Amino acid sequence: MMVLVTYDVNTQDAEGRRRLRQVAKACVNVGQRVQNSVFECKLDPLQFAQLKKHIDGIIDSNKDSVRYYRLGNNWTNRVEHVGVKETYNPEGTLII
């Protein structure tokens, strides 16, 4: 299933900037960055649980916010993009 991960990490101090990098890294490892703090991640239920656990261990829940939107399987026709950095389609053909 496709899971959309969006987050706001408080970067007012160095600790926050470190948390931001770590959350981004956790998402980059399992998904596609489509905007600065928005990732599209194709995950099975176990991978999703592992990602949430990993991110739970990174963020400061008093300062940061993370949202997960389960878009299901036929998600591609539910997304519209305007402007720069159109995302690749994980199911699309990769032209090398």
Q: Interface with a copy of itself by CB under 8 A: which residues?
A: 4, 6-8, 34-38, 52, 55-56, 59-72, 78-85
Q: Are 67 and 55 in contact (CB under 8 A)?
A: no
CB of 96 to a copy of itself, least distance (A): 26
Whichever of 27 and 66 has its CB closer to a copy of itself, that residue is 66
How far apart are alpha carbons 6 and 39 in whole angstroms?
A: 7
CB of 34 to a copy of itself, least distance (A): 6
CB of 68 to a copy of itself, least distance (A): 4
How far apart are alpha carbons 43 and 50 in whole angstroms?
A: 10
Whichever of 74 and 96 has its CB closer to a copy of itself, that residue is 74
Greatest CA span in the chain, whole angstroms? 45
Please choose, from the candidates 11, 12, 31, the residue with its C-alpha nearest in 3D space to the C-alpha of residue 20: 11
* Binding site residue list for Mg(2+): 8
